[in-house]
A and B are shown apart, each in its own frame.
Chain A
Amino acid sequence: MSRILVVEDEEFLLRALKDNISHEGFDVDLARDGEEALEKVRAKKPDLILLDLLMPRKDGFAVLEELTRNPEWRLIPVIVLSNLGSDHDIKRALEMGAKDYFVKSQHPIAEVVEKVKHILRGGI
């Protein structure tokens, strides 16, 4: 069964994501900041990461950077979920290797779940 790591510092968003993703039968692991996210990746490599950008301790950009630097983690697909919506942030995250970028308030959660399923089926 695929394992998804959800990285999000807002408890209510974390819960909504967890409920929706586990409802599809995936294993869900949770992290509330960037440091914790990397600890979780180290402990058990996920098949996909949903990553917030603005978080305490270590932000999502720093996490992306560490993921791409590590040859073992480099290929883990990452979907960025953030309310930063400027072209600059979007471009930066995509250039740093994120598979996709969702501005949270602009997309239904079902779309995020669909994207997760799509990528895990081998889509881009």
Chain B
Amino acid sequence: MEPDKARGLDTEAILLSIGDGVIEIDREGKVNVMNRAAERLTGFTAREILGKHYREALRFGTEKSDETRFDFIEDTLREGSENMFPKEFVVFTKKGRKVPITGSAAPVRDETGKPLGVVVAFRDITNERELENIKVEFLSLASHQLRTPLSGIKWLIETLLAEKIGTLNQAQKEYLTHIYQSNERMIKLVHDLLSVIRLEGEKPALTVTNFSLGEFLGECYEFSRLAAEKAGLAFRYETPDEAVLITSDRTLLKAILDVLISNAINYSKPGGTILFQAVREGEFVEFSVADNGIGIPREERNNLFSKFYRAPNAKAMKPEGSGLGLYTAKFLAGMLGGVIRVESIENQGSTFRLTAPVRQNPLPAGVATEVRQTPTP
């Protein structure tokens, strides 16, 4: 047997035997390859599918709607880009059942780079998605149940401290204040946990408006001014001279910047300075928060945005942090199509930069009016 031929045979056998579903579509959209895992997953046989246009052969969609989705294949065919499946993606089986999948569409090219078609690879993630749902439900229930006793402790101590039940001596007041502060820490932790669960579960809709960048910066500044003052820090902000307008989700942007500013305050020593700035560069706006605080050790940078992760020097300085701030900030930045970058030198300071598009994509109808903020009294 010639070696080349042997290799060719093997490649096809390997392709057909791969544990993940694989489908290959040519430039005209005709399905040329469907492996055995794809047959098992969809309930169709290769014979039923091969040679047909992918739109007539298969159907993809999402868990929560009945809409058919082929955009990831079309984008790859048109642009030659690799596309990961969106969250909650499903394939419809022959019997019309939805099977949760994850995977990607990637361009197939010849040796010269000429696009020949698209290869779609996908995997059944029914179990993973069920586990994820159980986790979210459990955490959400547990957090709600935790809030009730915590609010009881909070309100009862407040009533005692206001001396509505009787007068207290100095030591009693101090003890109660300590209990109160511990309880507030617990409340904050539960609140942060719930916010993260909600973000991951519901993905809040964007509420996009036009607003002045300078005014917005002032608002963020005011929000944290007192906390910075209390921490003995010089906190300044600078805006571009011109009246720059941007179009974005103001509440989300502010939530991200609040995290970055509050980190700068928490991880700076008294006497330090914090500079908060924004510049518009073409289609993007870059916010930066620079401090000369404790900084981030080099080896910790990669983990900085992981859930519950805290750098050792941060933990030593503020034991009560939850490790959810930057995780949440990164998540929200992603929703705005933005990124957060960090430069830092340990013991010298950190600069966090948020780059976000000045103009958000047009919104799908009916999502712009979601209520997101808790009403305040």
Binding site for B on A (CB under 8 A): 10, 12-13, 15-17, 19-20, 23, 83-87, 90-91, 94, 100-112, 114-115, 118
Contacts and interface: CB of A to CB of B under 8 A. Distances in A.
B304 to A, nearest CB: 28
A108 B158 contact: yes
Given A19-B159, A109-B158, 14 more contacts: A13-B148, A13-B151, A19-B165, A20-B155, A103-B147, A104-B151, A104-B155, A105-B147, A105-B150, A105-B151, A105-B191, A108-B155, A110-B158, A111-B377
B156 interface: yes
> Nearest 4 pairs between A and B by C-beta?
A104-B151, A16-B155, A83-B147, A105-B151
A17 B158 CA distance: 11
B226 interface: no
A16 B156 contact: yes
B190 interface: yes
Interface hub of B155, B159, B370, B375 (most chain A Cβ within 10 A): B155
A90 B159 contact: no
Contacts of A91: 371
A124 to B, nearest CB: 11
A104 B147 contact: yes
A90 B371 contact: yes
B162 interface: yes
B152 interface: yes
B311 interface: no
A18 B261 CA distance: 40
Nearest to B201: A86
A72 B187 CA distance: 39
Contacts of B144: 83-84
A111 B131 CA distance: 40
Contacts of B151: 13, 83, 104-105
Contacts of A105: 147, 150-151, 154, 187, 190-191
Contacts of B165: 19
A103 B152 contact: no
Max chain A C-beta neighbours (<10 A), residue from B151, B154, B204, B372: B151
B302 interface: no
15 contacts: A10-B148, A13-B152, A16-B152, A16-B155, A90-B371, A90-B375, A91-B371, A100-B375, A101-B374, A103-B374, A104-B154, A105-B151, A108-B154, A109-B155, A110-B158
B371 A115 contact: no
Given A16-B155, A23-B164, A87 B372 contact: yes
Given A91-B371, A102-B377, A104-B147, A20 B156 contact: no
Contacts of A118: 377
B377 A20 contact: no
> How big is the B interface, by class?
20 to 34
A109 B198 CA distance: 26
A10 B152 contact: yes
Contacts of A107: 377
B194 A85 contact: yes
A107 B187 CA distance: 11
B179 to A, nearest CB: 15
A109 B165 CA distance: 14
Contacts of A103: 147, 374
Interface in B277-327: none
A20 B159 contact: yes
Contact of A94 (B154, B190, B372, B375): B375
Residue picked from A20, A85, A91, most chain B C-beta under 10 Å = A85
B374 A90 contact: yes
A19 B166 CA distance: 12
A85 B156 CA distance: 21
A61 to B, nearest CB: 16
A87 B370 CA distance: 8
A12 B152 CA distance: 6
A86 B371 CA distance: 10
Nearest to B186: A105
A10 B144 CA distance: 14
Contacts of B187: 105-106
A20 B155 CA distance: 9
A15 B160 CA distance: 12
B155 A13 contact: yes
A83 B146 CA distance: 9
